[in-house]
Amino acid sequence: MPTTVKAYAATSATEPLTPFEVERRDVGPKDVAIDIKFAGICHSDIHTARSEWGPANYPVVVGHEIAGIVTEVGSEVTRYAVGDRVGVGCMVDSCGECKNCTAGSEQFCLQGNVGTYNSVGKDGRPTHGGYSQAIVVTEGFVCRIPDGIELDVAAPLLCAGITTYSPLRHWGAGPGKKVAVVGMGGLGHMAVKLAAAMGAEVTVLSQSLKKEEDGLRLGATHYYATSDPATFEQLKGSFDLIVNTVSAQLDFDAYLSLLDVNGAFVNVGLPEDPVSLRMFSVVMGNRSFAGSNIGGIRETQEMLDFCAEHGIGSEVEVIAADKVNEAYERVLASDVRYRFVIDTATL
Ligand code: NAP
Ligand code: ZN
Protein backbone atom coordinates (compact mmCIF):
# COMPACT_ATOMS: atom_id res chain seq x y z
CA MET A 1 0.00 0.00 0.00
CA PRO A 2 1.40 3.44 -0.87
CA THR A 3 1.93 5.49 2.25
CA THR A 4 0.52 8.95 2.81
CA VAL A 5 2.88 11.33 4.61
CA LYS A 6 2.69 14.91 5.81
CA ALA A 7 4.45 17.56 3.78
CA TYR A 8 4.58 21.27 2.94
CA ALA A 9 3.77 22.27 -0.62
CA ALA A 10 3.75 25.25 -2.94
CA THR A 11 0.34 25.48 -4.63
CA SER A 12 1.02 28.49 -6.85
CA ALA A 13 3.85 30.90 -7.69
CA THR A 14 2.45 33.60 -5.46
CA GLU A 15 0.98 31.91 -2.41
CA PRO A 16 2.85 30.80 0.71
CA LEU A 17 3.71 27.13 1.17
CA THR A 18 1.03 25.24 3.11
CA PRO A 19 0.56 21.83 4.77
CA PHE A 20 -0.09 19.06 2.27
CA GLU A 21 -0.18 15.28 2.08
CA VAL A 22 1.87 13.29 -0.37
CA GLU A 23 1.64 9.63 -1.33
CA ARG A 24 4.86 7.62 -1.40
CA ARG A 25 5.04 4.55 -3.61
CA ASP A 26 5.35 0.99 -2.38
CA VAL A 27 8.92 -0.09 -1.76
CA GLY A 28 10.01 -1.90 -4.93
CA PRO A 29 12.80 -4.52 -5.09
CA LYS A 30 15.52 -1.86 -5.61
CA ASP A 31 13.97 0.82 -3.39
CA VAL A 32 14.96 2.28 -0.06
CA ALA A 33 12.32 3.89 2.18
CA ILE A 34 13.66 6.79 4.22
CA ASP A 35 12.25 8.47 7.29
CA ILE A 36 13.29 12.08 6.58
CA LYS A 37 14.71 13.81 9.65
CA PHE A 38 15.93 17.09 8.16
CA ALA A 39 15.49 18.93 4.87
CA GLY A 40 17.63 21.91 3.88
CA ILE A 41 16.17 24.96 2.16
CA CYS A 42 18.07 25.63 -1.06
CA HIS A 43 17.57 28.81 -3.05
CA SER A 44 16.57 26.51 -5.94
CA ASP A 45 13.51 25.50 -3.88
CA ILE A 46 12.43 29.14 -3.93
CA HIS A 47 13.15 29.55 -7.65
CA THR A 48 10.98 26.46 -8.31
CA ALA A 49 8.19 27.19 -5.82
CA ARG A 50 7.79 30.61 -7.42
CA SER A 51 8.09 29.35 -11.02
CA GLU A 52 11.12 31.59 -11.59
CA TRP A 53 12.74 29.06 -13.93
CA GLY A 54 9.55 28.33 -15.82
CA PRO A 55 6.14 27.13 -14.68
CA ALA A 56 6.23 24.59 -11.85
CA ASN A 57 3.83 21.65 -11.73
CA TYR A 58 1.65 22.55 -8.72
CA PRO A 59 1.17 21.43 -6.08
CA VAL A 60 4.88 20.73 -5.58
CA VAL A 61 6.75 19.64 -2.47
CA VAL A 62 10.25 21.02 -2.90
CA GLY A 63 13.42 20.12 -0.95
CA HIS A 64 16.46 18.29 -2.28
CA GLU A 65 18.74 18.32 0.73
CA ILE A 66 17.43 15.27 2.53
CA ALA A 67 18.93 13.47 5.52
CA GLY A 68 17.23 10.59 7.29
CA ILE A 69 17.14 6.98 8.39
CA VAL A 70 16.35 3.89 6.33
CA THR A 71 13.08 2.25 7.44
CA GLU A 72 12.64 -0.45 4.79
CA VAL A 73 14.62 -1.89 1.89
CA GLY A 74 13.49 -3.86 -1.17
CA SER A 75 14.48 -7.49 -1.74
CA GLU A 76 17.29 -6.63 -4.20
CA VAL A 77 18.86 -3.79 -2.22
CA THR A 78 22.44 -4.65 -1.30
CA ARG A 79 24.01 -1.43 -0.02
CA TYR A 80 21.59 -0.28 2.66
CA ALA A 81 19.85 -1.76 5.66
CA VAL A 82 17.16 -0.60 8.05
CA GLY A 83 18.63 1.96 10.47
CA ASP A 84 21.32 3.31 8.11
CA ARG A 85 21.90 7.08 8.00
CA VAL A 86 21.39 8.26 4.46
CA GLY A 87 20.95 11.29 2.26
CA VAL A 88 19.23 12.15 -1.02
CA GLY A 89 20.10 15.16 -3.17
CA CYS A 90 18.73 16.72 -6.33
CA MET A 91 18.12 13.54 -8.35
CA VAL A 92 16.18 10.34 -7.64
CA ASP A 93 16.64 8.42 -10.90
CA SER A 94 18.13 8.40 -14.40
CA CYS A 95 18.33 5.99 -17.36
CA GLY A 96 21.47 4.36 -15.94
CA GLU A 97 22.62 3.33 -19.42
CA CYS A 98 23.76 6.37 -21.40
CA LYS A 99 27.40 7.43 -21.57
CA ASN A 100 26.94 10.08 -18.90
CA CYS A 101 25.13 7.81 -16.44
CA THR A 102 27.70 5.05 -16.88
CA ALA A 103 30.47 7.62 -16.33
CA GLY A 104 28.86 8.58 -13.01
CA SER A 105 27.45 11.90 -14.25
CA GLU A 106 23.77 11.11 -13.78
CA GLN A 107 23.03 14.84 -13.65
CA PHE A 108 23.72 14.84 -17.40
CA CYS A 109 21.66 11.74 -18.23
CA LEU A 110 20.86 11.92 -21.94
CA GLN A 111 17.25 10.92 -21.22
CA GLY A 112 17.10 13.63 -18.54
CA ASN A 113 17.51 12.69 -14.90
CA VAL A 114 14.50 12.47 -12.62
CA GLY A 115 14.63 15.45 -10.27
CA THR A 116 13.77 14.94 -6.62
CA TYR A 117 10.86 17.33 -7.11
CA ASN A 118 8.92 19.01 -9.90
CA SER A 119 9.87 16.15 -12.20
CA VAL A 120 8.14 12.97 -13.37
CA GLY A 121 9.24 9.63 -11.96
CA LYS A 122 9.62 6.42 -13.94
CA ASP A 123 6.13 5.48 -12.66
CA GLY A 124 4.76 8.50 -14.53
CA ARG A 125 3.84 10.34 -11.34
CA PRO A 126 5.11 13.76 -10.27
CA THR A 127 8.04 13.67 -7.87
CA HIS A 128 7.89 15.37 -4.49
CA GLY A 129 10.89 16.28 -2.38
CA GLY A 130 12.19 16.69 1.11
CA TYR A 131 9.75 18.98 2.92
CA SER A 132 7.97 15.78 3.95
CA GLN A 133 8.16 12.98 6.48
CA ALA A 134 9.34 10.17 4.22
CA ILE A 135 10.50 9.32 0.70
CA VAL A 136 11.09 6.17 -1.36
CA VAL A 137 14.16 6.29 -3.61
CA THR A 138 15.92 3.73 -5.78
CA GLU A 139 19.12 2.50 -4.10
CA GLY A 140 21.46 3.99 -6.70
CA PHE A 141 20.43 7.54 -5.78
CA VAL A 142 20.86 7.16 -2.04
CA CYS A 143 24.13 8.19 -0.37
CA ARG A 144 25.51 7.12 2.98
CA ILE A 145 25.98 9.83 5.61
CA PRO A 146 29.13 8.88 7.50
CA ASP A 147 29.04 8.64 11.29
CA GLY A 148 30.42 11.81 12.73
CA ILE A 149 28.27 14.18 10.68
CA GLU A 150 25.01 14.97 12.46
CA LEU A 151 21.96 14.66 10.21
CA ASP A 152 20.92 18.33 10.49
CA VAL A 153 24.29 19.66 9.33
CA ALA A 154 24.58 16.84 6.77
CA ALA A 155 21.33 17.65 4.93
CA PRO A 156 22.66 20.75 3.09
CA LEU A 157 25.69 18.80 1.90
CA LEU A 158 23.40 16.90 -0.48
CA CYS A 159 23.02 20.00 -2.67
CA ALA A 160 25.05 22.96 -1.39
CA GLY A 161 27.95 20.63 -0.55
CA ILE A 162 28.18 18.71 -3.81
CA THR A 163 27.43 21.76 -5.97
CA THR A 164 30.51 23.51 -4.64
CA TYR A 165 32.72 20.44 -4.12
CA SER A 166 32.39 19.36 -7.74
CA PRO A 167 33.70 22.55 -9.44
CA LEU A 168 36.40 23.00 -6.80
CA ARG A 169 37.70 19.50 -7.63
CA HIS A 170 37.21 19.89 -11.37
CA TRP A 171 39.14 23.16 -11.51
CA GLY A 172 41.91 21.95 -9.19
CA ALA A 173 41.37 23.89 -5.96
CA GLY A 174 44.22 22.92 -3.65
CA PRO A 175 47.54 24.04 -2.23
CA GLY A 176 49.04 26.96 -4.14
CA LYS A 177 45.69 27.95 -5.69
CA LYS A 178 43.88 31.19 -5.01
CA VAL A 179 40.14 30.64 -4.91
CA ALA A 180 37.48 33.33 -4.54
CA VAL A 181 33.90 32.62 -3.57
CA VAL A 182 31.26 35.15 -4.64
CA GLY A 183 28.30 35.31 -2.23
CA MET A 184 28.39 33.80 1.23
CA GLY A 185 25.01 32.12 1.49
CA GLY A 186 24.13 28.42 1.50
CA LEU A 187 26.39 27.38 -1.37
CA GLY A 188 29.00 30.06 -0.70
CA HIS A 189 29.72 29.12 2.90
CA MET A 190 30.15 25.48 1.85
CA ALA A 191 32.52 26.56 -0.93
CA VAL A 192 34.62 28.43 1.65
CA LYS A 193 34.83 25.44 3.99
CA LEU A 194 35.53 22.92 1.23
CA ALA A 195 38.12 25.00 -0.65
CA ALA A 196 39.96 25.71 2.61
CA ALA A 197 39.92 21.99 3.51
CA MET A 198 41.36 21.23 0.06
CA GLY A 199 44.27 23.51 0.92
CA ALA A 200 43.48 26.51 -1.30
CA GLU A 201 43.87 30.13 -0.21
CA VAL A 202 40.30 31.36 0.02
CA THR A 203 38.89 34.85 -0.45
CA VAL A 204 35.24 35.77 0.04
CA LEU A 205 33.69 38.41 -2.21
CA SER A 206 30.51 39.45 -0.44
CA GLN A 207 28.22 42.43 -0.92
CA SER A 208 29.30 43.83 2.45
CA LEU A 209 31.66 43.08 5.34
CA LYS A 210 28.77 42.03 7.63
CA LYS A 211 29.74 38.36 7.60
CA GLU A 212 33.53 38.84 7.57
CA GLU A 213 34.11 37.29 10.99
CA ASP A 214 32.19 34.17 9.97
CA GLY A 215 34.00 33.94 6.64
CA LEU A 216 37.37 33.95 8.34
CA ARG A 217 36.18 31.42 10.93
CA LEU A 218 34.96 29.08 8.17
CA GLY A 219 38.37 29.07 6.50
CA ALA A 220 38.78 32.17 4.35
CA THR A 221 42.01 34.14 4.59
CA HIS A 222 40.64 37.33 3.01
CA TYR A 223 37.22 38.96 2.85
CA TYR A 224 36.23 41.86 0.61
CA ALA A 225 33.08 43.89 0.00
CA THR A 226 32.07 44.02 -3.66
CA SER A 227 30.11 47.21 -2.95
CA ASP A 228 33.51 48.94 -2.58
CA PRO A 229 34.96 49.75 -6.05
CA ALA A 230 38.47 49.65 -4.54
CA THR A 231 38.05 45.86 -4.16
CA PHE A 232 38.11 45.43 -7.94
CA GLU A 233 41.19 47.64 -8.32
CA GLN A 234 43.06 45.91 -5.55
CA LEU A 235 42.34 42.32 -6.63
CA LYS A 236 42.87 42.67 -10.40
CA GLY A 237 44.45 39.51 -11.89
CA SER A 238 44.50 37.67 -8.55
CA PHE A 239 42.58 34.41 -8.71
CA ASP A 240 43.02 31.01 -10.29
CA LEU A 241 39.39 30.17 -9.70
CA ILE A 242 36.27 32.15 -8.84
CA VAL A 243 33.14 30.24 -7.85
CA ASN A 244 30.05 32.42 -8.30
CA THR A 245 27.08 31.37 -6.15
CA VAL A 246 24.97 34.48 -6.75
CA SER A 247 21.59 34.14 -8.46
CA ALA A 248 21.38 37.84 -9.35
CA GLN A 249 22.89 39.70 -12.31
CA LEU A 250 26.50 40.77 -11.76
CA ASP A 251 28.97 42.95 -13.64
CA PHE A 252 30.71 39.88 -15.06
CA ASP A 253 33.40 41.93 -16.81
CA ALA A 254 34.45 43.36 -13.47
CA TYR A 255 34.61 39.90 -11.87
CA LEU A 256 36.49 38.39 -14.83
CA SER A 257 39.15 41.08 -14.44
CA LEU A 258 39.97 39.52 -11.06
CA LEU A 259 41.19 36.31 -12.71
CA ASP A 260 44.83 35.50 -13.31
CA VAL A 261 45.87 34.36 -16.80
CA ASN A 262 44.20 30.96 -17.48
CA GLY A 263 41.88 31.50 -14.53
CA ALA A 264 38.31 30.24 -14.48
CA PHE A 265 35.09 31.92 -13.42
CA VAL A 266 32.65 29.13 -12.64
CA ASN A 267 28.96 29.81 -12.21
CA VAL A 268 26.78 27.72 -9.96
CA GLY A 269 24.24 30.50 -9.29
CA LEU A 270 21.33 30.47 -11.71
CA PRO A 271 19.75 33.87 -12.48
CA GLU A 272 16.31 33.88 -14.09
CA ASP A 273 17.31 36.04 -17.03
CA PRO A 274 20.12 35.87 -19.62
CA VAL A 275 23.36 37.60 -18.65
CA SER A 276 25.85 39.55 -20.74
CA LEU A 277 29.60 40.06 -20.77
CA ARG A 278 32.26 41.39 -23.13
CA MET A 279 34.12 38.59 -24.88
CA PHE A 280 37.29 40.67 -24.40
CA SER A 281 37.00 39.92 -20.68
CA VAL A 282 37.44 36.21 -21.43
CA VAL A 283 39.82 36.29 -24.40
CA MET A 284 42.32 38.69 -22.86
CA GLY A 285 43.92 36.37 -20.34
CA ASN A 286 42.87 32.99 -21.80
CA ARG A 287 40.16 32.87 -19.18
CA SER A 288 37.26 30.43 -18.85
CA PHE A 289 33.68 31.43 -18.15
CA ALA A 290 32.13 28.17 -17.06
CA GLY A 291 29.23 26.53 -15.26
CA SER A 292 28.80 23.55 -13.01
CA ASN A 293 25.70 21.49 -12.26
CA ILE A 294 25.52 19.64 -8.88
CA GLY A 295 27.58 16.42 -9.15
CA GLY A 296 27.08 12.72 -9.81
CA ILE A 297 26.12 10.21 -7.14
CA ARG A 298 29.64 8.76 -6.86
CA GLU A 299 31.09 12.22 -6.40
CA THR A 300 28.38 13.08 -3.86
CA GLN A 301 29.46 10.09 -1.77
CA GLU A 302 33.10 11.15 -2.18
CA MET A 303 32.15 14.65 -0.93
CA LEU A 304 30.33 13.24 2.10
CA ASP A 305 33.35 11.10 2.98
CA PHE A 306 35.64 14.12 2.49
CA CYS A 307 33.42 16.16 4.84
CA ALA A 308 33.53 13.44 7.49
CA GLU A 309 37.30 13.22 7.21
CA HIS A 310 37.68 16.99 7.60
CA GLY A 311 34.95 17.51 10.19
CA ILE A 312 32.84 19.58 7.83
CA GLY A 313 29.11 20.15 8.08
CA SER A 314 26.90 23.03 7.06
CA GLU A 315 26.25 25.95 9.41
CA VAL A 316 22.54 25.60 9.98
CA GLU A 317 19.55 27.25 11.56
CA VAL A 318 17.03 24.51 12.29
CA ILE A 319 13.42 25.66 11.94
CA ALA A 320 9.92 24.26 12.36
CA ALA A 321 7.99 23.59 9.16
CA ASP A 322 5.56 26.44 9.77
CA LYS A 323 8.47 28.90 9.60
CA VAL A 324 9.35 27.98 6.02
CA ASN A 325 7.74 31.02 4.40
CA GLU A 326 9.55 33.34 6.79
CA ALA A 327 12.79 31.51 6.03
CA TYR A 328 12.25 32.08 2.29
CA GLU A 329 12.02 35.83 2.87
CA ARG A 330 15.20 35.76 4.92
CA VAL A 331 17.07 33.83 2.23
CA LEU A 332 15.97 36.42 -0.33
CA ALA A 333 17.23 39.19 1.95
CA SER A 334 20.66 37.42 2.26
CA ASP A 335 19.80 37.01 5.93
CA VAL A 336 20.68 33.35 6.32
CA ARG A 337 23.48 31.95 8.46
CA TYR A 338 24.00 29.88 6.45
CA ARG A 339 21.35 27.29 5.67
CA PHE A 340 17.83 26.88 6.99
CA VAL A 341 17.02 23.27 7.73
CA ILE A 342 13.49 22.03 8.43
CA ASP A 343 13.08 19.65 11.35
CA THR A 344 10.54 17.33 9.75
CA ALA A 345 9.29 16.17 13.16
CA THR A 346 7.39 19.49 13.17
CA LEU A 347 5.40 18.72 10.01
P1 NAP B 1 21.63 31.91 -1.03
O2 NAP B 1 21.76 31.16 0.25
O3 NAP B 1 20.53 32.88 -1.21
O4 NAP B 1 23.04 32.59 -1.30
C5 NAP B 1 23.27 33.49 -2.36
C6 NAP B 1 24.20 34.60 -1.88
O7 NAP B 1 24.39 35.48 -2.98
C8 NAP B 1 23.63 35.48 -0.79
O9 NAP B 1 23.79 34.97 0.50
C10 NAP B 1 24.40 36.76 -0.99
O11 NAP B 1 25.69 36.66 -0.38
C12 NAP B 1 24.62 36.80 -2.50
N13 NAP B 1 23.67 37.70 -3.18
C14 NAP B 1 22.32 37.70 -3.07
N15 NAP B 1 21.78 38.68 -3.83
C16 NAP B 1 22.81 39.31 -4.40
C17 NAP B 1 22.90 40.41 -5.31
N18 NAP B 1 21.80 41.05 -5.75
N19 NAP B 1 24.12 40.78 -5.73
C20 NAP B 1 25.22 40.15 -5.30
N21 NAP B 1 25.20 39.11 -4.43
C22 NAP B 1 24.01 38.69 -4.01
O23 NAP B 1 21.42 30.88 -2.23
P24 NAP B 1 22.03 29.41 -2.44
O25 NAP B 1 21.08 28.41 -1.92
O26 NAP B 1 23.45 29.41 -2.01
O27 NAP B 1 21.94 29.29 -4.03
C28 NAP B 1 22.65 30.21 -4.86
C29 NAP B 1 22.29 29.98 -6.31
O30 NAP B 1 22.80 28.71 -6.75
C31 NAP B 1 20.79 29.93 -6.62
O32 NAP B 1 20.58 30.54 -7.87
C33 NAP B 1 20.51 28.44 -6.73
O34 NAP B 1 19.37 28.17 -7.49
C35 NAP B 1 21.77 28.00 -7.42
N36 NAP B 1 22.05 26.56 -7.30
C37 NAP B 1 22.69 26.00 -8.35
C38 NAP B 1 23.04 24.67 -8.31
C39 NAP B 1 23.81 24.07 -9.43
O40 NAP B 1 23.85 22.86 -9.57
N41 NAP B 1 24.48 24.85 -10.22
C42 NAP B 1 22.72 23.89 -7.18
C43 NAP B 1 22.09 24.52 -6.13
C44 NAP B 1 21.76 25.86 -6.19
P45 NAP B 1 26.42 37.91 0.33
O46 NAP B 1 25.44 38.39 1.36
O47 NAP B 1 27.64 37.31 0.87
O48 NAP B 1 26.69 38.92 -0.73
ZN1 ZN C 1 19.80 22.99 -4.25
Dump pLDDT digits (tens) for 139-163: 999 999 999 999 999 999 999 999 9
Mean pLDDT, the chain, as a whole number?
A: 97
Measured in Å, residue 211 CA sits from the centre of ligand 2 at 22
**Would the pLDDT of 1 be above 80?**
no
What is the rounded average pLDDT of the residues 299-314? 98
pLDDT score recorded for residue 7:
98
What is the rounded average pLDDT of the residues 233-244? 98
Q: Which of 266, 260, 238, 263 is nearest to 182 (CA)?
A: 266
What is the rounded average pLDDT of the residues 312-319? 98
What is the Cα Rg of the chain in Å? 20
Dump pLDDT digits (tens) for 259-282: 999 999 999 999 989 999 999 999
Q: Is the dihedral of CA 235, 241, 247, 253 positive or negative?
A: positive
Measured in Å, residue 247 CA sits from the centre of ligand 2 at 12
* Ligand number with the minimum distance to the CA of 53: 1
Measured in Å, residue 208 CA sits from the centre of ligand 2 at 24
**Would the pLDDT of 2 be above 80?**
no
116 in ligand 1 pocket by Cβ < 6 Å? no
* Ligand number with the minimum distance to the CA of 64: 2
Using CB atoms within 10 Å of the CB of residue 253, give its burial: 0 to 12 exposed, 13 to 18 middle, 19+ buried: middle
What is the share, in percent, of the chain residues with pLDDT greater than 90?
A: 99
Amino acid code (one letter) for 164: T
Q: Confidence class of residue 214 from pLDDT cuts 50, 70 and 90?
A: very high
What CA–CA distance (Å, rounded) separates 156 from 57?
A: 24
163 in ligand 1 pocket by Cβ < 6 Å? yes
36 in ligand 1 pocket by Cβ < 6 Å? no
Dump pLDDT digits (tens) for 49-105: 999 999 999 999 999 999 999 999 999 999 999 999 999 999 999 999 999 999 999
